[in-house]
Structure 1
Amino acid sequence: MEHRLSKRVPGRLGSLLYKRGMPVATGQIRDASRSGLFLATEYAGADIDETVELEFRFPKRDERSFRRLVARVVRKTDKGLGVEFESAGNDTFTISYLLKWLQQHHLPSAYFSVLRQHFN
């Protein structure tokens, strides 16, 4: 049984994963909430309860700066990492804007499965 503190917003946004200030992997934010997100990645070197950073940029011409969020790994799967945002060091504006951006740029999952059928 899942115990969510806030609603997940699905989406797709590329991200870099950092450990101890060094980039270690790429991934894609697949869903997010006010308390955390799921990062689809092949990277398996993060441990449960380890602090990581996620860096991303909203793909707009007028938005050139990168945003970074501090998070703690709370779940690992073969498809990626579930992370919970650390309360210290995070900008609540960035989290709110991430949720808003994902909501505005979300494509239904059925759309992606149709594309896979045509290109596989």
Structure 2
Amino acid sequence: MPVATGQIRDASKRGLFIATDYTDVQLNQTVELEFRFPDRKEKAFRRLKAQVVRKSDQGLGVDLEGLDNDGFTISALLSWLQKHNHIVSYFPPIRQNYFH
């Protein structure tokens, strides 16, 4: 299973835009997003499922609705991003190595 990195650039209760240079995904493909809150003592990762609804040179737009997701996790992510001002205009992501 491919693994890629990215940075959230825009977020709403419905979906996210993730800046990434990873392009090996298709529209309507279901992907799994894994993240953790860097400033919290808990080191556990959270997971959300998303459907790819947009692809561009800057990244991917994903829809969180209609999939089996925990509403609390989505709310916690949105609150954290807003509190830490991590919703910013696009800057190219740092190129990462991808592991298969």
Same structural fold, with TM-score higher than 0.5 when normalized by the shorter chain? yes
Measure the CA separation in 1 of the matches of 2:35 and 2:62. 15
Give the match's secondary structure for 1:87.
Answer: coil
Give the match's secondary structure for 1:44.
Answer: coil
In structure 2, the partner of 1:59 is: 38
Measure the CA separation in 2 of the matches of 1:109 and 1:54. 19
Render the CA deviation track for 1:58-96: whole Å, top value 9, x for unaligned: 012412110110000000000100000143321100000
Relative to the length of structure 2, the TM-score reads 0.81
Question: Quick one: which amino acid aligns to residue 66 of structure 2?
Answer: S
- Counterpart of 1:97 (choices 60, 63, 76) is 76
- Counterpart of 1:73 (choices 38, 52, 75) is 52
Q: Residues 38 and 58 of structure 1: is their aligned pair in 2 closer, same or farther, counting only changes over 3 Å?
A: same
In structure 1, the partner of 2:61 is: 82
Q: Stretches of 4+ moved more than 6 A in 1?
A: none
Measure the CA separation in 1 of the matches of 2:86 and 2:4. 25
Of 45-54 and 60-69, deviating more is 60-69
Q: Greater strand share, 1 or 2?
A: 1
Unmatched tracts of structure 1, length 5 or more: 1-21, 113-120
- Higher RCO structure, 1 or 2 (CA under 8 Å, sep 6+): 2
Aligned pairs (5 A) from 1:1-120: 22-106=1-85
| Identity over aligned pairs, percent | 63
- Number of equivalenced pairs: 90
Greater Cα radius of gyration, structure 1 or 2: 1
Q: Greater helix share, 1 or 2?
A: 1
